[in-house]
Structure formats: C-alpha cells, structure tokens
Structure 1
C-alpha cells in the first residue's frame, strides 16, 4: 500500500513534474497497473471503484504528449480511490467470516511465561520436604 501511495504521489503531487518522455509514462503506467492488480485482490469483485480502475488499466496508453499524460493522471486518481476503498475496509474476499483468530504472542511474552513456570517449579521443588 505504501508503494502505491508513493507512485500516486509521484504522479499527482503538486511538486511533481509531468514525465519528460514516453518511457517514463510507460513505467509509471506499468507501476500503477501493478498496484491496481494488488489492490484488486483485496477488493470485492464488481466493486464500482475496482471496475473503474480495471477499465482504465485495460486501455492502451494514448499516443501524443497530452493524451498520454491525461491518461496517466486518470489512472493515478483511480488508483488513489481504490487505495482509499481498501483502507476504509470495503467488502472484499479477505472479509469472509472465520472462527476466532488468536493473536500471535510476542517472543518476550513467551520467554516470560516459560521463566514464570520454571520459577514456580523451582519454588515447589524447594518446598517439598526431603526424606
């Protein structure tokens, strides 16, 4: 998500200049299409935001200086909308109902638990009378 945000900012940022040549436009379009594909996997099929972004991705890059830059900006805006949709938690395949998922404990918590059990065993063993 961070990479997508950086690419969108590269295209839509106020201080970002328009790409100089066609190769730069093609590189940015390729990156944005990749981000749309990744974000699309986290969005429900048929979502209007996803459909718009995928439709733009399926179009070819127009010829000419201004049409190609306009297409690039539209694709970046569609990617930004899709990112916002995913961040809001829009319905998607990863939102399916599942059983309770336990949080994985941190390693220091595990170490502390093992230490506490070992200490309790040591105290118990020391309190048992010797015969």
Structure 2
C-alpha cells in the first residue's frame, strides 16, 4: 500500500502539471507584453509628437534595424497568418532607400507597420486573459442611445397598459 506522502506527491504532480500549463500561458502573455512595450518605445522615437526626424543616415539605419528586430520578435509571438505581420515583414525586408526624404518616409512607414503589429499583439494578449482581467475597452458596453430606447419602450408599454384599462 503506498504511503500517504506518495499519494500526495502523485496528486501534487497532477496539480503541478496544471500549474505548469498555466505558467506557460502566463509566460507567453508576459513575453508578448514585453515585446509590445519595447516596440512601443522605438515607435515613439519615430512617430512621437515631440520626436524630431533623424538627422543622419546612420540614425535612420539604427532605427530601421531596431524596428526590423521588433518585427522579427513580434513575428515569433503572433500567428504567421496575420496580415499585419506579412505587411510589416515585406516593409522590413526592403532596403532603406537613398535620399533624405525617401529614407525618412520608409522609416515612418516601417514604424506604422510595427505599430499595427503591436496593436495586434495587444489584442491577442487581451483576448488570452480571463474576462474579469480584461480592460474596459474589451468589455461589452451598451450603445450610446440604448438608454433612450429603453425609456421609450417602457413609456410605450405603460401607455398600452393605460389604454387597456377600462374607464368607469
């Protein structure tokens, strides 16, 4: 007959398996978040309101390499069939064009494509969380005029009831 500690160890291993699977899901969610935060910082360097355009071609090259790295890392986290991923990879594989304006336009387009990837990864992260942990943006909210429609329906119902009451 197995001892109670062996039985407990057997149960703990089954419980540990569930915990390990949950831990893997949490690690994957945290990895996505870390990638999106890092990419968001680089995107802010390019698309931020108060960030100037890079002055030298070397600055453009550094930012382009950083954005390409973010695209590659986010590509490992996202499903390969994501359209935003295909578009970002296509832009990332293109060489940086020569010329001041053309290289900056390419950099901005690459940052916008990376921003689309970040929003896609954030949506996947939000969907992978349980409903009580999701942000208010993801939860259901009534439409703007739902309250007015409800009041009108109640008023119409009361009017129908009042009209059906016999008069004495």
TM-score (norm 1): 0.67
Equivalent residue for 1:60, pick from 95, 110, 117: 95
Equivalent residue for 1:84, pick from 119, 133, 143: 119
Summarize deviations over 1:40-92 as a string: whole Å, max 9, x none: 111111211000000001100000000000000000000000000010007xx
Equivalent pairs, count: 91
Compare relative contact order (CA 8 Å, sep 6+) and give the higher one, 1 or 2.
1
2:54 is aligned with 1:13 = no
* CA RMSD, 1 decimal: 1.2
Task: Specify the SS of the correspondent of 2:77.
Answer: coil
Query: Which runs of 4 or more aligned residues in structure 1 lie more than 2 Å from their structure 2 counterparts after TM superposition?
Result: none
2:77 is aligned with 1:27 = no
TM-score (norm 2): 0.53
